[in-house]
């Protein structure tokens, strides 16, 4: 995945996060149906830094037949941010980047 920012001039700090849902039909807006993967664990799953505009997940890091949300946040300050969520379901462990289908994209500013 790749984030982008126009005219940020280094003022925005980015960070990726990963949420794992407890079922394929879980509601993305219900916090009780998902689990935020701990920062250190998610960082170990990646080829790229959490603070980059791109994220690349290492092979065999995502569970098969599981719903996830990949989140990128752009922070102006620790308490002021915008975010985008990419909801997807894996059908098998990652293979050549062809393992997921993105159903919806939510942008919150």
Enumerate residues 6+ apart whose C-beta is below 8 A from 41.
none
pLDDT in tens, 43-54: 999 999 999 888
Please state the domain extents for the chain: 13-108
CA–CA separation, 72 vs 69, rounded Å? 10
Summary mean pLDDT of the chain = 82
pLDDT band at 69 (very low <50, low <70, confident <90, very high): very high
Single out the residue of 50, 91, 93 nearest to residue 73, CA to CA: 50
Beta strands in 25-66 (DSSP E): 34-36
* Single pTM value for the model: 0.75
Instruction: State yes or no: pLDDT of 29 exceeds 90.
Output: no
Q: What is the pLDDT of residue 33?
A: 82
CA–CA separation, 90 vs 63, rounded Å? 7
Instruction: State yes or no: pLDDT of 77 exceeds 90.
Output: no
Single out the residue of 101, 95, 81 nearest to residue 5, CA to CA: 81
């Amino acid at each position: 995945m790749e984030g982008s920012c126009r005219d940020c001039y280094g003022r925005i700090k980015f960070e990726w996060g990963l949420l794992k849902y407890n079922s394929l039909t879980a509601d993305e807006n219900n916090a009780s149906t998902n689990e935020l993967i701990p920062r250190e664990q998610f960082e170990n799953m990646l080829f790229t830094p959490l603070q980059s505009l791109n994220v690349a997940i290492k092979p065999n890091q995502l569970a098969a037949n599981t719903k996830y949300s990949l989140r990128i946040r752009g922070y102006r300050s620790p308490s002021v941010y915008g975010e985008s969520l990419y909801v997807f379901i894996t059908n098998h462990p990652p293979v050549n980047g062809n393992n997921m289908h993105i159903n919806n994209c939510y942008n919150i500013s």
